[in-house]
Amino acid sequence: MKRLLLESSASHTGSVVAVVFGPAVLGVDIEAVANMTPAALSLALTAEEIVSLADVRGGDSRREAARYWTCKEAASKVAGVGNRLPMRAWRVIPVPGSDRVSVVDDGGRRWSGVTLPTSSAAVAAVVWPSELSEAGETRWSTRYINYRDIRVEVTHTAISFSEAGSE
């Protein structure tokens, strides 16, 4: 990837893998909604995030919790800190009515992100430095590859950036 001047990030949950490539540092995470247990979330979510989940209806609260989780994990990859910061050190700020988010760490550094459409069993997020998000565009396309008894679903997501301040 370095020869192509591309950065990459990868994540997996169960048998599902998410990989992103881009011209700038990106982070990706994918997580099974079923893994969003109360014990896990008590370690990961801020008090404000826990309160916001109370406003989400039924089973969608676990999916929204997975959205918070994946955004935090992806941001930790972009920031280059991995598990060195506790997940509560990150705050996810959803953009109302969209799949976009902002992620802020305890030091006030900010990243932008988007949650991606996956199966109903998993949530994925891609996060990048905020200064690249002025005029972002996201596109998806999915291909299915069948080989004998193996079915592979490849979803292509294109997130285009422009430099801050440009049109």
Tell me phi and psi for residue 110, to 5 degrees. -125, 145
The answer to whether the beta carbons of residues 123 and 132 sit under 8 Å apart is no
pLDDT at 166: 37
**Where do runs of H (alpha helix) occur along the chain?**
38-44, 47-54, 60-79
Interval 1-16: pLDDT, tens: 556 777 888 888 888 8
Kindly report the pTM of this predicted structure.
Answer: 0.78
| One-character DSSP codes across 127-139 | EEEGGG-TT-EEE
Q: What angle do CA 117, 122, 126 make, to 5 degrees?
A: 55
Cα separation, 53 vs 150, whole angstroms: 37
Q: Give the pair of three-digit tokens for residue 74.
A: 């992806």
Q: Is 103 exposed, middle or buried (0-12, 13-18, 19+ CB in 10 A)?
A: buried
Cα-only R_g, the chain: 16
The pLDDT of residue 90 is above 80: yes
pLDDT number for residue 49: 93
Q: Is 137 exposed, middle or buried (0-12, 13-18, 19+ CB in 10 A)?
A: exposed
How confident is the model over 124-135, as pLDDT tens digits?
A: 998 888 765 554
